[in-house]
């Protein structure tokens, strides 16, 4: 079964989607969309590093993403510039340094487009093992972190006063995010990873009355988007990564449609049960 490249692609997409959904919920709740983008962009620098020193890609990308979060925390402490601006600086400068660094290595031939937009159809068995292994690890960590992370998302001071160490949970969450970005890179590419985190979560919002439901629904929506996108890609011969994001967007737009019982235009607001 795994001999078929398309089956491998489907399994890889599912593996990423089911973990990107729940993790993406926290990205949405904590308003960290730009942060996710920054981490993803820094991945190119990680790839350059891996190629230059002949390291494995995954640890190099993870290392750079972790360093970027550390840099952000340090710059935030220094004060003066808003997080928004700091992220803008880090995001684009790491991407630019990555591109420049690749240009300095004419001996390596890389498929730049593959890194930027993903190459899910080239997923190997080893990649599949890394994806599902990573998903399992991140999933378990997320379950363990759930309470302090959620308490810290609602209010960090409250969580801290009541003994939940939200700072630790936040740091752990950043590492999980870096890890997921490192393994998801191959599927949708550096430039589109954030979409896989945010769009399913945003789509799930409407159908959820509790954080836990939203996380599960986001995973489900991600799985649908990934599978639908791949069939779209197969049927119309479109690039796979962007097709997955388009499929996610279609689901998001469908969820915006008014429910039959609510003919008015207030579909973006959640329905209280």
Binding to another protein (CB under 8 A): which residues in 183-202? 201-202
By CB under 8 A, tell whether 273 contacts another protein. Answer: yes
By CB under 8 A, tell whether 164 contacts another protein. Answer: yes
Please report, for the chain, how many H helices and E strands are present, in that order: 11, 0
Q: Which stretch binds another protein (CB under 8 A): 143-151, 218-226, 244-252, 253-261?
A: 143-151
Binding mask 53-92 for another protein (x = CB under 8 A): --------------------------x-------------
By CB under 8 A, tell whether 155 contacts another protein. Answer: yes
Residue from 269, 116, 134 nearest 193 by CA: 116
Q: Of residues 10, 12, 16, 28, which one binds another protein by CB under 8 A?
A: 28
Binding to another protein (CB under 8 A): which residues in 82-141? none
Cα separation, 217 vs 211, in Å, equals: 10
Cα separation, 146 vs 196, in Å, equals: 21
Question: Is the CB of residue 247 less than 8 Å from the CB of residue 229?
Answer: yes
Q: What is the dihedral of CA 100, 106, 108, 109, to 10 degrees?
A: 90
Q: Of residues 129, 154, 168, 256, which one binds another protein by CB under 8 A?
A: 154
Cα separation, 187 vs 11, in Å, equals: 11
| Residue 42 beta carbon to another protein: minimum distance, rounded to whole angstroms | 25
By CB under 8 A, tell whether 254 contacts another protein. Answer: no
Q: Which stretch binds another protein (CB under 8 A): 89-97, 188-196, 209-217, 227-235?
A: 209-217
Cα separation, 112 vs 189, in Å, equals: 10
131 phi/psi in degrees, rounded to 5: -65, -50
Residue from 90, 51, 52 nearest 70 by CA: 90
Q: Of residues 1, 4, 103, 210, which one binds another protein by CB under 8 A?
A: 210
42 phi/psi in degrees, rounded to 5: -70, -15
Question: Is the CB of residue 10 less than 8 Å from the CB of residue 215?
Answer: no
Angle at 226 between CA 23 and CA 15, to 5 degrees: 55
By CB under 8 A, tell whether 168 contacts another protein. Answer: no
Q: Which stretch binds another protein (CB under 8 A): 117-125, 157-165, 225-233, 241-249?
A: 157-165
Cβ proximity to another protein: between 66 and 202 the closer is 202
Binding region for another protein (CB under 8 A): 28-31, 79, 147, 150-151, 153-155, 157-164, 201-202, 205, 208-211, 213-214, 270, 272-273
């Amino acid at each position: 079964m795994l001999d078929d490249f398309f089956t491998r692609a489907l399994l890889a997409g599912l593996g990423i989607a089911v973990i990107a959904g729940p993790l993406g919920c926290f990205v949405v709740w904590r308003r960290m969309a730009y942060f996710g983008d920054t981490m993803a962009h820094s991945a190119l620098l990680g790839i350059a590093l891996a190629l230059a020193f002949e390291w494995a890609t995954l640890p190099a990308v993870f290392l750079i993403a972790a360093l970027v979060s550390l840099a952000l925390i340090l710059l935030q402490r220094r004060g003066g510039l808003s997080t928004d601006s700091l992220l803008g600086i880090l995001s684009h400068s790491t991407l630019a340094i990555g591109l420049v660094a690749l240009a300095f290595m004419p001996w390596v031939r890389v498929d730049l487009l593959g890194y930027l937009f993903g190459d899910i159809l080239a997923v190997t068995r080893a990649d599949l093992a890394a994806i599902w292994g990573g998903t399992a690890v991140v999933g378990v960590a997320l379950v363990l972190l759930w309470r302090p992370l959620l308490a810290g998302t609602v209010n960090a001071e409250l969580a801290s006063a009541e003994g939940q160490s939200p700072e630790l949970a936040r740091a752990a969450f950043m590492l999980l995010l870096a890890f997921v970005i490192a393994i998801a890179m191959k599927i949708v590419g550096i430039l589109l990873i954030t979409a896989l985190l945010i769009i399913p979560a945003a789509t799930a919002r409407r159908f959820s009355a509790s954080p836990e439901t939203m996380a599960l629904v986001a995973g489900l929506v991600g799985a649908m988007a990934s599978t639908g996108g791949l069939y779209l890609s197969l049927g119309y011969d479109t690039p796979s990564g962007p097709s997955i994001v388009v499929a996610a967007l279609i689901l998001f737009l469908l969820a915006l449609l008014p429910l039959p019982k609510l003919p008015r235009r207030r579909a973006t607001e959640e329905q209280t049960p």
